Amino acid sequence: MYALMTEKGYDYSFNPNACAECGGNCCTGESGYIYLNQKEMEAIAAFLELSLKDFKEDYILKNGYKYSLKEKLVGLSHDCIFFNREINGCGIYPVRPTQCRTFPFWDYFKNHKDELQAECPGIIFNTTKEENV
């Protein structure tokens, strides 16, 4: 059992134990961007024992000046290219990008709580006014 996670400035907690049952909602479903920087690309390329050039060709798309992981279509779901449905988990977990490491504590979700609640069954909103400050 993992302990509940909290983050200063967020009025919800996250229960990591929910991930085992969830099936990776945050890595699948609607299309989106998983941004990563140069160092993160280098770390994943090394983890996969690929050159940076080969890694970028196979796994990265550019959105303007930013880099994102590609997706793969599985049925109607836009899975992250590294999501492994056999294990219901991330295939590059030790070197996953910061965007993944910091989920679900994203500034974006401070104003999109319904969206977060619908996506992640591990979210527990605080119930007292004091905790919501």
Binding region for ligand SF4 (CB under 6 A) = 18-19, 22, 24-27, 34, 69, 80, 82-83, 90, 92, 96, 100, 103, 119-122
**Least distance (Å) between residue 16 CB and ligand SF4:** 7
Instruction: Kindly state the helix (H) or strand (E) to which residue 77 belongs, with its residue range.
Output: strand 77-80
**Least distance (Å) between residue 43 CB and ligand SF4:** 12
**Least distance (Å) between residue 131 CB and ligand SF4:** 20
37, 43 Cβ separation under 8 angstroms: no
The count of other CB atoms within 10 Å of the CB of residue 106 is: 13
**Least distance (Å) between residue 72 CB and ligand SF4:** 10
Nearer Cβ to ligand SF4 (10/119): 119
Which residue carries 């909602």 as its tokens? 25
Sign of CA dihedral 76, 23, 118, 26: negative
Nearer Cβ to ligand SF4 (41/92): 92
- Closest by Cα among 67, 117, 52 to 97: 67
Nearer Cβ to ligand SF4 (20/131): 20
11, 117 Cβ separation under 8 angstroms: no
Nearer Cβ to ligand SF4 (18/126): 18
